[in-house]
Amino acid sequence: MLKKRVIAVLILRQGEVVQSVQFRHTNVIHKDPRFAVEYFSKWDADELVILDVTRTDEHRARFLDTLERLSRTCFVPISAGGWLRSCADIDGVLSRGADKAVINTEALHRPVFLEEAARRFGSQCIVVGIDCRRDDRGEHMVHVDRGREPTGWRAEAWAREAVARGAGEIFLCSIDNDGMRCGYDLPLLRKVVDAVSVPVIAFGGASSAEHMAEGLRQGGVEAVSAANVFHYSENSMRKMKRALRAMGIHVRR
């Protein structure tokens, strides 16, 4: 049986690790992200997702330097994203130590970008981030710009389109549940998992092993991830994996 992955997410703003609550990035968790990367490498994280949410060009340019510095002390695969708008941007994160690139807004604005990226780097390197919010009818609609701009795409429809154009993995986030400690949006996970043939990573809302087990069992995803919950406890990743194994979930040791 294929073992499930448990992934730690680092959200960086101007080089600092910040907390995210429904895509509002306020509290600084770590002034220097090197400490978080070192911890998660030692605590047996399967992968890291590092996302840059900096709004200014000046600080975004520093993200590549930060990523290169972090990759030197990281011994697990890294997926990096934030403001990737061209193949040159993807090459920038891959050449600085990332194993995969996370593409979000530009793929929606210019879907052919996914085809270009998959041809050049291979689908295995291309992760499409999908951020969803429920509308008044309960539909899961894709949004960009920190959840402020609706795109008109339903989550499952955009996931199918993204995979058809070359995405090798989906990083699926519920804006409504992000930082709320209420668990994943299981109907959202199920819709997207049933729509695509590539791995789906759940993100947004998990604060316990029970939440992650629900995402894996009921949501059907191949990997679960979290940001806030992993930053406030010693050996947090090992404790989470131990609890999941006790529930009968096959996770990597």
- Residue-wise pLDDT tens digits, 133-165: 999 999 999 999 878 899 999 999 999 999 999
**Per-residue pLDDT averaged across 199-213, rounded?**
96
The vertex-103 CA angle with 171 and 231, nearest 5°, equals 50
Specify if 237 maps to a domain: yes
Structure tokens at 210: 């029970």
Specify if 188 maps to a domain: yes
Share of the chain above pLDDT 70, in %: 98
User: pLDDT averaged over the chain?
Assistant: 93
Count the domains in the chain: 1
- List helix spans (H) across 122-177: 155-164
CATH of the domain at 133: 3.20.20.70
Q: In this structure, are strands 78-81 and 100-103 parallel, antiparallel, or unpaired?
A: parallel
Residues 68-79: tens digit of each pLDDT: 999 998 999 999
Specify if 253 maps to a domain: no
Structure tokens at 236: 């947090």
Specify if 251 maps to a domain: no
Share of the chain above pLDDT 90, in %: 79
Residues 45-73: tens digit of each pLDDT: 999 999 999 877 776 678 999 999 999 98
Largest CA distance in the chain: 47
Specify if 252 maps to a domain: no
Q: How many CB atoms lie within 10 A of CB 213?
A: 20
Q: Angle, to 10 degrees, between the axis of helix 209-217 and the axis of helix 186-195?
A: 30
Specify if 116 maps to a domain: yes
Residue 187: exposure state from Cβ atoms within 10 A (0-12, 13-18, ≥19): middle
Q: Are 9 and 46 in contact (CB under 8 A)?
A: no
> Per-residue pLDDT for 132 more than 80?
yes
CA-based torsion, 105, 66, 79, 113: positive or negative: positive
Q: Are 162 and 115 in contact (CB under 8 A)?
A: no
Structure tokens at 142: 């894709």
d(CA 3, CA 113): 32
**Per-residue pLDDT averaged across 14-25, rounded?**
86
The whole domain housing 172 covers 5-246
pLDDT at 233: 77
